[in-house]
Amino acid sequence: MTTLSTLQETAREILADGKGILAADESTGTITKRLEAVGVESTEENRRRFRDLLFTTKDVEQRLGGVILYDETVRQDALDGTGMVETLRRRGIVPGIKVDAGAKDLAGFPGEKVTEGLDGLRERFAEYAALGLRFAKWRSVISVSEALPTPTAIEVNAHAQARYAALAQEAGLVPIVEPESIMDGDHGIDRSAEVTEQVLAATVEHLRRQRVALEGVLVKTNMVVSGYAGADQAGPDEVADRTVEVLRRTIPAAVPGIVFLSGGQDDAQANANLDAIARRGPQPWTISFSYARALQGRPMAVWAGAEENVAAAQDAFATRLRLTGAANRGDWSSEAERAAS
């Protein structure tokens, strides 16, 4: 039987020494769009080749403590015949798994979503634990506007997050709870902060109600930024101040770590904001990153499906990790970012 101390040890291992998490858990539909955008057919083999490229990059374990996988990848072998999960484990990287079934329309509430996937989750967790996975992720999607989200959308998604988290801990996996407030739209940073605070507060309340051990949970959330279509865009210092303020109001010190998603930000924006947050000094929780596109976008474009481009794509991935790791320490340089792009 897994103890709380085991969950805590896993959480600490993932975020040790300033390391972060690679979100390589895109659904088949999502990665298909990204591959096709760089001229690559989205076959199972091409998806395997790209993820192998990432996982076998030299020294990747120096900046990655965990990788979130998709179910397809868990069952694949790397190009050398070693299982993908074992490939990560041999490098000292903790393997995790996305378990939700995606955000679907919330009946009766136009424009809002609820994440599905609880049915059969206990059995899936038992299988994933047997396959060597040690943490999991569940993402909920919260629309932001002057009218949204409704209290109902916040409530149903917080409830689902907590049910998932309780089942993950029961199976011995650390749950990453990811309630993402989507920053599309022209709203200002005040509205972003208001909604993010409401969403995180509700999520924590439901975790408590459903007896989830906060000491064995990681939180993945959005930074508090201006709506991407807004005319008035907050700079990194304001983003950092508002983000830390919201987190201190909502996330108990018992939670061992908070990791940020990059969302709709470009690579430089995501790292500039992460750097500013890191420079706000020590927090009650470990702060780090869990990026997808901000780490993978450039390597995918360089690779473009060609074997002769693998080494260059791995160099691009190593550069993205180096810059993001520097941002996570508060040592990021905009000049270095521009030189790498």
Tokens of 82: 């070693």
**Would you say how long the chain is, in residues?**
341
Angle between helices 44-55 and 293-303 (to 10 degrees): 110
C-alpha to C-alpha distance for 336 and 325, rounded to whole angstroms: 13
| 334 alpha carbon, distance to own chain's centre | 23
C-alpha to C-alpha distance for 39 and 209, rounded to whole angstroms: 48
Sign of the alpha-carbon torsion through 129, 131, 132, 135: negative
C-alpha to C-alpha distance for 7 and 20, rounded to whole angstroms: 17
Catalytic residues, by residue number, are: 220
Residue that the structure tokens 């990681």 belong to: 218
| 218 alpha carbon, distance to own chain's centre | 10
Q: Report the greatest alpha carbon distance in the chain.
A: 53
Instruction: Region of 172 please: left (phi>0), alpha (psi -120 to 50) or beta.
Output: left
**Other residues' Cβ atoms within 10 Å of the Cβ of residue 282:** 7
The bridge status of strand 103-105 relative to strand 113-115 is antiparallel
C-alpha to C-alpha distance for 236 and 196, rounded to whole angstroms: 17
